[in-house]
Chain A
Amino acid sequence: MTMQLSEDPQAVAPAPRRTFLYENPSVLWFMACLGLFTLIVSVLSEGMGTGLISTSLVKILGMTLCLCLIAIAMDVVWGYCGILSLGHFAFFGIGGYAIGMWLMYARTEIVVRGNLAAGTIPPTEAEVAEAVAAQIFGVVGSSELPLIWTFAGSLPFQLAMVVLVPGLLALVFGWLAFRSRVTGVYLSILTQAMTLALSLYLFQNDTGLRGNNGLSGLQNIPGALDVPQSVLSVWFFWASAAALGAGYLFFAWVVSGKFGSVIRAIRDNKTRVRFLGYNVEGYKLFVFTLTAVISGIAGALYYPQAGIINPAEIAPIASIYLAVWVAIGGRGRLYGAVIGAVTVSLLSSWLTGGGAPNIDFGFYRIVWTDWWLVLLGLGFVLVTLFFPKGIGGLFDYLVRKKE
């Protein structure tokens, strides 16, 4: 039958090949918005431009971009593939710890060398290492460098860890969970347990990551210690914007083709996909691991801007927030995840950071730091009940109107 067709030029003429961007106009729109936003923030920043936007605000905006990156990863794993992971913030935190180790070690080493240079005899390498260890781990009553810090002085090594540790953890965890065909709410609970266990483990003083003190001083970048924070913040803002742009393009490509077709099919009816000959568990593991790696990268960009990371960051609630952002923004569309992350996290910073005026009724005072969670919960319920497509669903009305 095919032979017959190939003799007929009319029949084989393939559908006109359209470019990736033509097929996905939302990607182009997103890139334009991101570029414009980056430009505006740069021009108005304290470090590079007029100074209308303070350094701390630039940092908050840069961190928000990192949250957008993990939100689109969450959207791919949940909105597209149907795996409600409530543990992706663990990978984000691990990425932060991996880069934090280098930041802290390298900077402490510079400081220690400076101090020891004042002495008459130049210090040996062993003395330097000992002094660095005492400086970093004095706070948890130790002066020995834990084994996992062996290569902390090497930036390439720690950068590799940013990707490898979340990737491997996701691979092993996912393999165990998916192989046993754990799905739905059971999988969500399991991922919560994973992030809780990791957080509790890191709270211990003897785990080699400074217990509840976490890693601090991450805003000081070794090799750029003379660069003022106002300028550094813009650099990190750019890096975050670039990472978000690249991540968005990458995920848009992943979900647009046949791969996206298969994972959406897995979300909607995995039994049927199995009978089509696809290894459903393999695909889930692939998506779970891929998004974990991207989450790690997002975390590695986030924490140098935050300046500090501690085990509380990867408490189970953080991963639940992540799911709430994606649900509010709109599942199954990448820009929805971005909208959700931006709206909710900025609103949260504004309301809990004392930016919003408290409302005094006389008999009762609404203090936003207390009421913010109520507001968020209410918003989540309302969106789930009345706008299952989230804020992003509004774009469907706009497009339909134009047609």
Chain B
Amino acid sequence: MTNLLEVSDVSVTFDGFRAINNLSFAIAEPELRAVIGPNGAGKTTFMDIVTGKTRPDSGRVLWGERQVDLLKLSESQIAKTGIGRKFQKPTVFEEQSVRENLAMALANRRGPFSVLFWKATAHDQARIEELAAEIGLADRVDHRAGDLSHGQKQWLEIGMLLAQEPRLLLVDEPAAGMTPAERAHTTDLLKGAARSRAVMVIEHDMEFIRRLDCRVTVLHEGAVLAEGSLEHVTRNQQVIDVYLGR
């Protein structure tokens, strides 16, 4: 099992504040990984670096078998190489239907000319229906995304991620603002996705992490504090001091 993503010795400073401090991290394929840590630990900044939104001051981010240097690619190029991202706040295109949202995310060619002449093939149609069923929105494909509930928007965004067919999914607080039943469904979605892919989940809710039942990385002050099973890290005295003890 080789690593799909390898982040080594990455640092980034915002106005003198060290948001990420010599962080090293690796994830394999397939793998489900939870990332926890107190506010300001650098979890979201870490995702920004991997997806190309923020450029680190130093360090390396290597991707895939051919060890592609992600720091040289733009956001859209990184997305095209197979990294999908779900934001903390659900960001779906509210004015458009669930179907249109999913169709945009489908792993088809992204150039303006290809998109201009694009027509949904039977395969595309089937894929959209299949995804809609998976995220529990089968009967709402032609509704405006803006009319969905908060939880449904989160699912739609996960569905869009799956439609991109990425090898690595970065998911930022997927369960925020969800009812317990919705959380259970979200757990199933993520576990299902992690059967064939690398999935990294940032979450605060320990109960949710327990249900994910996976390896956990604890971040603190921009560096990895501990890594291992949930039981292992929750017994770590440092982790208790900076995060759990509060």
Contacts and interface: CB of A to CB of B under 8 A. Distances in A.
A258 B104 contact: yes
A122 interface: no
Interface string A252-274: 00100111011011001101111
Contacts of B95: 264, 268
B91 interface: yes
Interface stretch (A7-15, A136-144, A206-214, A319-327): A7-15
Most buried by A among B87, B94, B110, B160: B110
Interface stretch (B8-16, B37-45, B73-81, B223-231): B73-81
A278 B122 contact: no
B122 A264 contact: no
A336 to B, nearest CB: 15
Nearest to B113: A286
A215 B96 CA distance: 47
A280 B76 contact: yes
B181 interface: no
Q: Is the interface of A mostly helix, strand, loop or mixed?
A: helix
A1 B103 CA distance: 18
Given A257-B116, A261-B100, A268-B95, A275 B75 contact: yes
A277 interface: yes
B127 to A, nearest CB: 7
B93 A283 contact: no
Contact of A274 (B79, B84, B93, B111): B79
A260 to B, nearest CB: 9
Contact of A276 (B94, B105, B125): B105
B91 A257 contact: no
A274 B52 CA distance: 10
A279 interface: yes
Nearest to B92: A272
B6 interface: no
Nearest to B131: A1
Contacts, number: 89
Nearest to A4: B130
Interface size class of A (residues with CB under 8 A): 20 to 34
Contacts of B110: 277-279
A1 to B, nearest CB: 6
Given A2-B126, A5-B126, A257-B118, A275 B79 contact: yes
A251 to B, nearest CB: 12
A359 B118 CA distance: 57
A221 to B, nearest CB: 35
Contact of B164 (A258, A262, A277): A277
* In the complex, the 9 A-B pairs of residues with the closest C-beta atoms, listed nearest first: A277-B79, A14-B125, A274-B75, A277-B80, A286-B112, A259-B116, A258-B118, A12-B126, A261-B100
7 contacts: A1-B130, A12-B122, A14-B122, A264-B95, A277-B76, A279-B111, A282-B112
Given A275-B75, A276-B105, A279-B111, 17 more contacts: A1-B130, A2-B126, A2-B127, A6-B126, A12-B126, A14-B122, A15-B125, A254-B116, A257-B116, A258-B103, A261-B93, A268-B95, A272-B91, A274-B74, A274-B75, A278-B76, A283-B112
